Structure 1
Amino acid sequence: MLRRTFIVSAAAAGLSLGAPRLGRAETAPRLTLAPDATPPTGPAPATGYVSVNGLKHYCESHGSGEPLVLLHGGLGTIGMLFGQLLPVLARTRQVIAVELQAHGHTADIDRPLSYEAMADDIAALIGQFGFETADLFGFSLGGGVALQAAIRHPEVVRKLVVASTPYRRDGWFPEVLAGMAALTSDNAAAMTGSLMHQFYVEVAPKPEDWPVLVAKTGQLLARDYDWSAAVAAITAPVLILTGDCDLVRTEHAVEMFRLLGGGAGGGLGGGSAAGLGGLSSSRLAVLPDTTHFSMLTCGDLVAAITRPFLDAPMPL
């Protein structure tokens, strides 16, 4: 029962659980490129740490072009979650992947994990990177951080892609919410040897802090929230991505789309604001045959949806 609970709760945190449980002597396999995915040409990615708000964030920069900041899910790392998606996005963009507080290479500090604090970190990082604005792509927990960045710091967020992300806590399926309660420091030992644990200890500055990360993530996911009014006031264009077999309810993604001005009937406006159903600046895509975590292996499909949205001119 405990193992099943962790599968649900870990998936809710944005984890890829397709690989078998690993023994201590085994090496965690990195996500590989899909057969039709090729890495970007050009120099090797730049890696390093950028300090903001008392925290040294690990960052990787891939490709060239307009900036796209990539944010992972809970308990994840760049290498574990974005091994297939990042190279495809970096064919046409400068993709800057950031590991959030206490995740991966980024050490923890004495503060709780919160969407708001991590959003403040990302806004400050955009300035430290030397950009006035940037596009954000957040997956699962990282999507919540991206939403809060657009809410709290609209001046630095140009466009926003949120993948498998609820804007209210009840956007998760009930069984997912029930599973989140298992993310406690006392239960962290049960996750030893799991894929997320292997990736964490491989790169974390203090691998012994694994129970702290699990507990802080559980506390964040246990917090009730409803960002309806704030989401409706977001000024940046938003692309919502969800799988048709996601851990976030499909109707919840549709509700978010409507909050952002989408879903008007008819579409008779021909893409303008005139007439019934003029297109909003935001978009919704439900990916077929896609789960919460398999979305990250659909690099070419996600890029085919994401690129036209990001490359389109900003609305007047």
Structure 2
Amino acid sequence: MKFLRTLFAPLLTAAVAVATLLPAASQAQESKPVKSGYLSVNGVNYHYQVHGQGEPLLLLHGGLGQFEMFGPVLTALTKTRQVIGVDLYGHGRTALTERPVSLVDMGDDMAQILKQLGHNQVDVMGYSMGGGVAFRLAVQHPERVRRLVLVSAGYAQDGFFPEMLPMQAQVGAGMADMMKETPMYKSYAAVAPRPQDFPKLLDQMGAFMRKPYDYSEDVKKLQMPVMLVFGDSDMYRPEHIVKFYQLLGGGLKDAGWMRENMAKNRLAILPGFTHYDLFLAPALVPTVLPFLDGKSNTASWAQQVAGQK
């Protein structure tokens, strides 16, 4: 039991974070979504909900979570945005099928969901596994993505700290009973069409995490503006984070006094946050919104000097 608790400590930490969010998530949605329901896509019955008004933003949650984990973030985003939330395959209100968990498949699914909802192009923001889905959507269907924000999501399996890999490799149905009293399971069971599928979900997630991947060549294909957001104590190695930004064309040279060499893509490191609580960061929305709106938080030094004359 002690071994299992050590093995799954990261997932349990995330569960506690989700539990902390549940009351706030409820308050955030007192006004109810303006639209919600199910869409059948490639054999999966996806649950979606739409909140707020404004420019559309597809918001994708992390693994073993659900859309409600974005409670406080949702409140801030819907002040200026129409937020489209989807429970990813096998998560929340979206039931499992016999299909494996696959970022590539879910990337295709999200494109179909946007089409069925009548959106030609939207901004997309994904956290953790949701970031992986957002990335695949942008690679496979670039015409659907205007701007892309990836929150604590890497591009290759070797981006994780080495000690994470054996823990991920052990995820499976065997941990289901241990998790029955955790907020993560309880939040799943409260809305899942078939709560008895939880062990099956863990098996599928384990198989998904054991599969090696390296999307470095796909990173180079992205033409839309991209922002990477990580915590300074993330589960991804700092070297991987920097390499990700460099693959996007950032961090390769000095930007220049007039920002003439500044890359169009952005990297944000939020201090005092980990992979498991970054989606709770009060600074997250103020960090990503200016990027999504195509604005800069500050004028260049040259612009500030010129403005003083």
**Is 2:44 aligned against 1:61?**
no
Cα deviation per residue 1:168-215 (whole Å; 9 max; x = unaligned)? 001111122121122112332222111211111000000000001111
Q: What CA distance in whole angstroms lies between the structure 1 residues aligned with 2:24 and 2:184?
A: 19
State the distance in 2 between where 1:92 and 1:83 align: 16
**Match 1:283 to one of 236, 247, 266:** 266
Counterparts of 2:66 and 2:262 in 1: how far apart (Å)? 36
The one-letter code sitting in structure 2 at the alignment partner of 1:6 is F
SS of the aligned residue for 1:104 comes to: coil
Q: Give 1:281 deviation, angstroms.
A: 1.4
Residues 273-314 of structure 1: CA deviation (Å, up to 9, x unaligned): xxxxx1111100000111112212124x1111111101117x
- Give the Cα–Cα distance (whole angstroms) in 2 for the partners of residues 243 and 105 of structure 1: 29
CA distance in 2, matches of 1:47, 1:212: 26
1:181 paired to 2:180? no
Asked whether the 8 Å contact 1:59–1:99 carries over to 2, the reply is yes
Change beyond 3 A, Cα 1:42–1:66: farther
- Segment drifting more, 219-228 vs 289-298: 289-298
Alpha-carbon deviation of 1:265?
Answer: 2.1
Counterpart contact for 2:12–2:182, Cα < 8 Å: no
Distance 1:242 1:5 in 2: 23
**1:264 Cα shift?**
2.4
What residue number does 1:219 align with?
207
Which of 276, 281, 287 matches 1:305?
A: 287
Q: Which has the higher helix share?
A: 2
Distance in 2 separating the partners of 1:2 and 1:43? 39
Aligned AA for 2:62? G
Cα displacement (A) at 1:251: 2.2
- Residues 1:236 and 1:269: Cα distance change in structure 2 (over 3 Å): farther
SS in 1 for 2:125: strand
Distance in 1, Cα, partners of 2:245 & 2:37: 36
SS in 1 for 2:112: helix
**1:17 partnered with 2:30:** no
Q: What are the equivalent positions in structure 2 for 1:104-253 lying under 5 Å apart?
A: 104-253=92-241
Contact 2:28 2:71 in 1 (8 A): no
Q: Distance in 2 between matches of 1:115 and 1:44?
A: 26
Q: Hey, what's the Cα distance between the residues in 1 that align with 2:111 and 2:17? A: 33
Task: Tell whether the 8 Å contact from 1:9 to 1:180 is kept in structure 2 after alignment.
Answer: no
- Partner SS for 2:232: strand
Counterpart of 1:51 (choices 40, 44, 57) is: 40
Q: Larger relative contact order (C-alpha < 8 A, sep ≥ 6)?
A: 1
Question: Within 2, Cα distance between the matches of 1:111 and 1:10?
Answer: 26
The CA deviation at 1:8 is 2.7
Q: Counterpart of 1:94?
A: 82
Q: Structure 2: how far apart are the matches of 1:31 and 1:101? A: 21
Please list the CA deviations of residues 24-63 of structure 1 after superposition, one character each: whole Å capped at 9, or x if unmatched. Answer: xxxx6643449xxx95997644221122112111111111
CA distance in 2, matches of 1:10, 1:126: 32
**Aligned pair in 2 of structure 1 residues 250, 10: CA closer, same or farther (>3 Å)?**
farther
- Amino acid corresponding to residue 257 of structure 1 in structure 2: Y
SS of 2:267's partner is strand
* 8 Å contact kept, 2:10–2:276: no
Query: What secondary structure sits across from 2:174 in the alignment?
Result: coil
5+ residue gaps in structure 1?
20-27, 273-277
**Contact 1:72-1:138 at 8 Å conserved across structures:** yes
Q: Read off the aligned partner of 1:168 and give its amino acid letter.
A: A
Q: What is the TM-score with the length of structure 2 in the denominator?
A: 0.89
8 A Cα contact 1:146 1:160, kept in partner: yes
Q: Is the 2:156–2:216 Cα contact (8 Å) retained in structure 1?
A: yes
Which residue of the partner structure matches residue 10 of structure 2? 8
Deviations 1:239-290 (A, max 9, x none): 0000001112222111111000000222117234xxxxx1111100000111
Q: In 2, Cα distance between the equivalents of 1:43 and 1:103?
A: 20
Does the residue aligned with 1:190 lie in a helix, a strand or coil?
coil
Counterpart CA distance in 2 for 1:283 and 1:203 is 36
Distance 1:200 1:54 in 2: 21
